Amino acid sequence: MNLDTVHHVAIIGRNYEKTRDFYVNKLGFEQLDEHIRPEKKDILFNVQKGNLVLEIFIKEEAPVRPAFPSPEYTGLRHLAFRVQDVEACLAEFDQLGIPHQGLRYDDFDGKKLAFFFDPDGQPLEIHE
């Protein structure tokens, strides 16, 4: 079995406008498509940046994620993006009004990292 790369990561959001604005307009992903699915009571759209594809489901009635900093539940803990300069990203987040936590250093490799959150509280990380 050759599982050598991730095809996509799926995320559920509750508000189409806020979620699309966050991933497309603020984080700079390109929207690939959009599927309105009344039979499933959702909207599905895919976004891409480089080799990373996010499959985003908008389900207005989805249960709310338990609040961070308690991500210790089974399943996806957080999604981490590799960046060249964490501090420059944090400054850009400030300009875009994206809430984030402060600069931290990885316990194992000592590299800079920081957490931020999508409109539904999904923990996201930037890491050098």
Quote the pLDDT of residue 39: 96
Quote the pLDDT of residue 68: 55
43, 41, 39, 53: which is closest to 18 by C-alpha?
Answer: 43
Quote the pLDDT of residue 71: 56
| List of the chain residues with pLDDT < 50 | none
Domain layout of the chain by residue ranges: 1-62, 73-128
Q: Do domains 1-62 and 73-128 have the same CATH topology?
A: yes
The model's pTM:
0.86
Quote the pLDDT of residue 4: 82
Quote the pLDDT of residue 6: 82
Quote the pLDDT of residue 11: 93
**Calpha distance 90→98 (Å, rounded):** 9
Average pLDDT, the chain: 91
For domain 1-62, the CATH superfamily is 2,3-Dihydroxybiphenyl 1,2-Dioxygenase, domain 1 (3.10.180.10)
Classify domain 73-128 at the CATH topology level.
Answer: 2,3-Dihydroxybiphenyl 1,2-Dioxygenase; domain 1 (3.10.180)
Quote the pLDDT of residue 64: 82
Q: List, edge to edge, every strand of the sheet that includes 52-58.
A: 9-13, 52-58, 42-49, 30-37
Quote the pLDDT of residue 78: 86
Quote the pLDDT of residue 67: 65
Q: Please report where in the chains the tokens 């509750």 appear, as a residue.
A: 14
